[in-house]
Structure 1
Amino acid sequence: MKNLNFGLAIPAIVLVIVLLFVSALFPEQSQAMAGGAMTFVTNWFGWLVQIASLALVAFLFWLAFSKHGDIKLGEEKPEYSNFTYGGMIFTAGVGASLIYWGIGEPMYYLQAPPLFAEANSFSAAAWAVTYSIFHWGITGWSIYCFPAIPFAYAFYVKKQRTLKLSTLCESVVGTNPIVAKAIDLLAIFGTLAAFASSLSLTVTLLSTGAADLFGIENGLLLQGGIILLFVVVLLCVMLVGFNKGISKVSDYTVLMAIGFALFVLFSTNAQFILNNFTDSIGVMFDSYFRMSMWTDPVQQSGFPQSWTQYYWFWYYAYLIMMGLFITRISRGRTIRQVILSTISMGSLGCAFFISIFGGYAVWAQMLGGLPVQQWMSDGGLTFAVVSLIKTLPAKSFILGVFLVIQFFLMLTTMSSASVATAMLTTNRLELNGDPDNKVKLLWAGAIALISFSVFLAGGGINTIKSLCVVAGLPMMFIYAILVKHLLHELGILKTAQQQASSSIQEIVAE
């Protein structure tokens, strides 16, 4: 463990666990404080995160198609095929949450629709899948993608062997050790908290499904057993190695998930789902800028704050994990390939799954006579998701397949988070960017411990989710620092300054 930066790892882990247990001891007070902080952030800075995120999309596409897009990140050939590369990015970014929210979001949007539509109306139905695809689409994947560019450029082109976030920020904020430690701890905290909440959601879904499938009690023992199973399987994957472990699990998981989605498509109402997908994509492209900038200042329904801004801040909190993982698997690719692959693979993959599962949920509620919203009201979204899956043919077998796919989707994300946090806290990385197995396993165990603490702490996850959004605010400003750093590294800033200086001199001369 000599290569592990204990000064970053231990404080971050302890901070998350302490926050969880404080929120368990004082649930009402902690949730009120965290909720108040989140409300303050969205009310005062929500407009800024919407503008900044849209600007980031424009910046990345400009960078991809500029001459700088041809810069190759390392001299070697790409390690992975396009399918494996795209699959690892996709599974790292979405985990098991995609299908869960792919069903859940459209149902929430039907009941409390955006852009002044009436609840459960035809207009609300038109927005339901559209907004889900939007929230899991181009903007979110741009936020995920960007940090991979300065990280990969520093590691593969500049040959830096440490990938602490503060190291990249030094050219802009200086070398103050307190500021540097704060930046690195913030990055790790955002990753741990965001991932722990995602894993706890997945464990809740798996335990609900397993309890229904096997007729056993859905309690702390079952949830702890599922977390332990995650750790054991992850241990096996890590010991096999990155190329034979994570990449292969990702390949098989993506193929299983695609096969399952196609089964849902053709065993339900394919005609409706395909037509609804086409309509949703059309509505999204027609209204992309409206959705990106809508803050609802007059009606004040709270929809942009509760959903769009919440998602964008969440992506910012989670971004370093994604940036480092994409860096690890991008050796040998150009900047253009990294940007276009990440945004296209991520967005299209999410659109594919959301259109099928969300489309089926909308059909079931609006036309199919299935009480999906009532299931949500009776037993929560987890119960509604399991109940909807059970409406498929061979319900017990299909529910089992669904749970296996959810498990491995989350496992790939857990693997990615372990690798990324290990990279962030490794003092010196090898040329292939792969941290020591002991460090990766330490982080896998830490993530599992934090996730189990969520269940021990009761409702603490709501506090952590709120704090993730709060943590996303400073990370948004760190993004601006990284943009300036990248522009400096690529020589763009210097060229722009020289051109501006020349223009001023010409004006003065005239």
Structure 2
Amino acid sequence: MNPRVFWGASLIIGALLAAALIAPGASDYAFGHAQDWVIATFGWFYVASVAGFLLMVLWLAIGPTGKLKLGPDDCEPDFPYLSWLAMLFAAGMGIGLMYFAVAEPVQHYAAPPEAEPGTFAAAREGMVITFIHWGVHAWAVYAVVGLSLAYFAHRKGLPLTLRSGLHPLLGRRINGPIGDAVDIFAICGTLFGIATSLGLGVAQINSGLTYLTGLPSNAWVQVGLIAVVMGAAMVSVLTGLDRGVRRLSELNLTIAVGLMLFVLIAGPTGFLLKAFVQNFGLYLDQFFQRTFNLYAYEPRGWMADWTLFYWAWWIAWSPFVGMFIARISRGRTVRQFAAGVLLVPTGFTFLWMTVFGNTAIALDMGVAAGAITQAVQTDLSTALFQFFEYLPGTAITSTLAVILVAVFFVTSADSGSLVIDTIASGGADDTPRWQRIYWCSMEGLAAALLLLAGGLGALQAATLVAALPFAVIMILLTAGLVRQMSADAAGREIDTEQPPLAERVKRMMAPARRRDIDRQIERHGLPAMQAAAAALTAEGMETAEVTTLEDGAALTVHHPGWADFTWRLTAASRPLPALSPLEAPEDRRSVEWRLTAQAQGGRRQDVTGFTRAQIEAEILDDLAKWRRG
């Protein structure tokens, strides 16, 4: 593990959950007020950010960078196309599609932001809004994080963690406190985003079981259901990505398609096909208006309850879905990635929402006589089962729906646990089992405690607040991705090793002394070089040893058939720069000392002030170049 990230994230999550457990009323109040403040202050920021992410992904896919591959130029995709799409779908939307497929269109139909409630205009507006919330905007948020992670991990050889996406901006400094903070924010946002989905899922499972068996519907029953389903998720997460997660995702997609086809055939088929085409046309017609609409001139709470919540939810989920997408997308080009992630799941989602949403509205206008609307307004989680009452085979379809939500629950939990574990372990693929179980348990615990603290309202508020800092990180990831891809497409190298301005000013005003450099070599340089030598020896290198020099230390590696590798850390001095023409000549000025790193045949790098982890990263980078060359 990366102990700073693992325990730092655990401490923050534990503190929030302890507050929810000790003072649930106060926690609910605090989460609610934090949500109100974020929406009032940063609602415009969420809307502008999501629009920018979508435009940037399209620009990278369409331009020269679209030909770049997520991995070596000769690599092939790790998963077949259909398996890849199935895993995308299960991880990205899952529980939400089941929970909101009937509830959201009907709720917009009953209380639209602009049209007259309960009219055909309200039905049309409700479907367009649903398409906006579940369309390419959501997948663009996922694509930004997924593309950044996949590109830097599979093509540039960096660890599969969020901090790697900042490498073009920060260089090796991503291995310090800044990188730790990015990964901690990613874990916290991911965990609360998944907890929200689990809260939605368990509420719907409870409603389905109440409908089928008469089981009571309350928070304590839902906590018990969380424990049961999380147990299944632990079994899946221990089997790994290729077996447990992949097979469950394929099962999910099969059941979902079967249920959707049943509703399509049993419902008003001709109307649904026409509605699908018209809904898509209305979506395109209002795309830009809805993308940037904030109701600035006529404020309404509707934005906070729907659009801003969704944008925050997608951002909070983006580390989880983005990393999951990155892990399964090695070997695809940027253009293939963008087309697959933006278009294919969106197309299926639009068909799904049309089949369930338009059928529900048609039934509510007809035989249901408003009963579905009343069920939605009473309890969103019961809407789907009330809907099935007006179709043949109610018991069978309701049972399938409960099973589908449960399997979506498991795939979200196990995928999320693998992703959080990867971030907390510094990008490692094979981690101890107890760590995966730990994060799986934390997800379930967070969902349970927040449900007890304030129900789904507390979960939604926690998600919206947690998404704010990560939205800023996503903007930095986008900047780093554009910079690196543009350089690669043009065949240029990026120099990221220049120290930040604050550090350069500090050196100018208070330059390092020789004893400072010697102390850095002793505390950070030698341990990093000795760790590298031990790891190389374990991998079968004939000679991998560290020797101390008068002005530093050297790591020497010898392997039969390869050129020798020598890596040096040395103390170097130079006269302080003159701040005016009247200063003393260069040979009479004071000197500053710096720590420099140099691989044999390479250029010197200034590593003054680097930590052990940052020096290890420098060694690893130069070793990779030596191995390739």
Partner of 1:74: 71
Q: RMSD across aligned C-alpha pairs, in angstroms?
A: 2.5
Partner of 1:100: 99
Residue identity matched to 2:470: M
Number of residue pairs matched? Answer: 488
SS at 2:295's partner residue?
coil
Are residue 449 (structure 1) and residue 445 (structure 2) matched?
A: yes
Deviation at 1:24, TM superposition (A): 5.2
Are residue 31 (structure 1) and residue 28 (structure 2) matched?
A: yes
Partner of 2:317: 318
Matches of 1:205 and 1:131, distance apart in 2? 23
Partner of 2:40: 43
Partner of 1:501: none
Instruction: Map 1:137-216; keep pairs closer than 5 Å.
Output: 137-160=135-158, 162-169=159-166, 171-172=168-169, 174=173, 177-216=176-215
Residue identity matched to 1:317: A
Are residue 474 (structure 1) and residue 473 (structure 2) matched?
A: no
Partner of 2:288: 289
Partner of 2:521: none
Deviation at 1:39, TM superposition (A): 2.5
Deviation at 1:85, TM superposition (A): 0.4
Partner of 1:271: 270
SS at 1:363's partner residue?
helix
Matches of 1:303 and 1:220, distance apart in 2? 26
Change (3 A) 1:494 1:61: closer
> Could you report, residue by residue, the CA deviation over 1:237-293 in whole angstroms, capped at 9, with x for unpaired residues?
234442222112111210110011110111122223222222211111000001111
Q: Is the 8 A contact 1:127 1:280 kept in 2?
A: no
Residue identity matched to 1:126: R
Deviation at 1:319, TM superposition (A): 0.9
Structure 1 residue corresponding to 2:460, chosen from 452, 458, 465: 465
Deviation at 1:82, TM superposition (A): 1.1
Change (3 A) 1:5 1:178: closer
Matches of 1:37 and 1:219, distance apart in 2? 26
Residue identity matched to 1:112: A
Matches of 1:210 and 1:357, distance apart in 2? 20
Q: Is the 8 A contact 2:60 2:482 kept in 1?
A: no
More helix by share: 1
Structure 2 residue corresponding to 1:123, chosen from 109, 121, 124: 121
Are residue 5 (structure 1) and residue 2 (structure 2) matched?
A: yes
Q: Is the 8 A contact 1:17 1:453 kept in 2?
A: no
Matches of 1:159 and 1:21, distance apart in 2? 39
Partner of 1:503: none
Partner of 2:499: none
Partner of 1:490: 485
Structure 2 regions of 5+ residues with no counterpart?
494-629
Deviation at 1:61, TM superposition (A): 1.1
Q: Is the 8 A contact 1:294 1:304 kept in 2?
A: no
Matches of 1:287 and 1:217, distance apart in 2? 43
Partner of 1:402: 401
| More deviation, 46-55/285-294 | 46-55
Q: Is the 8 A contact 2:46 2:311 kept in 1?
A: yes
Change (3 A) 1:228 1:63: same
SS at 1:417's partner residue?
helix
Residue identity matched to 1:463: A
Residue identity matched to 1:374: Q
Matches of 1:428 and 1:312, distance apart in 2? 27
Partner of 1:439: 435
Q: Is the 8 A contact 2:203 2:222 kept in 1?
A: yes
Matches of 1:438 and 1:82, distance apart in 2? 32
> Could you report, residue by residue, the CA deviation over 1:57-77 in whole angstroms, capped at 9, with x for unpaired residues?
121111112221111222431
Residue identity matched to 2:474: Y
Instruction: Map 1:280-359; keep pairs closer than 5 Å.
Output: 280-359=279-358
- When the two structures are superposed, what TM-score results if normalisation uses the length of structure 1? 0.89
Partner of 2:90: 91
Change (3 A) 1:428 1:383: closer
Partner of 1:422: 421
Partner of 2:50: 53
> Could you report, residue by residue, the CA deviation over 1:333-384 in whole angstroms, capped at 9, with x for unpaired residues?
111111111111221121121111111221122233341121234x411123
Q: Rg bigger for which structure?
A: 2
Residue identity matched to 2:30: M
Deviation at 1:438, TM superposition (A): 4.1
More strand by share: 2
Same amino acid, percent of matched pairs = 26
Deviation at 1:170, TM superposition (A): 5.2
Matches of 1:287 and 1:221, distance apart in 2? 43
Residue identity matched to 1:450: A
Partner of 2:247: 248
Matches of 2:222 and 2:467, distance apart in 1? 29
> Could you report, residue by residue, the CA deviation over 1:10-34 in whole angstroms, capped at 9, with x for unpaired residues?
4434533542452455445433433
- When the two structures are superposed, what TM-score results if normalisation uses the length of structure 2? 0.73
Are residue 237 (structure 1) and residue 232 (structure 2) matched?
A: no
| More deviation, 195-204/220-229 | 220-229
Q: Is the 8 A contact 2:109 2:119 kept in 1?
A: yes
Residue identity matched to 2:457: N
| Structure possessing the higher relative contact order (Cα contacts under 8 Å, 6 or more residues apart) | 1
Change (3 A) 1:435 1:322: farther
Partner of 1:505: none
Residue identity matched to 2:376: M
Matches of 1:28 and 1:443, distance apart in 2? 26
Deviation at 1:492, TM superposition (A): 4.1
Matches of 1:40 and 1:220, distance apart in 2? 28
Change (3 A) 1:236 1:310: closer
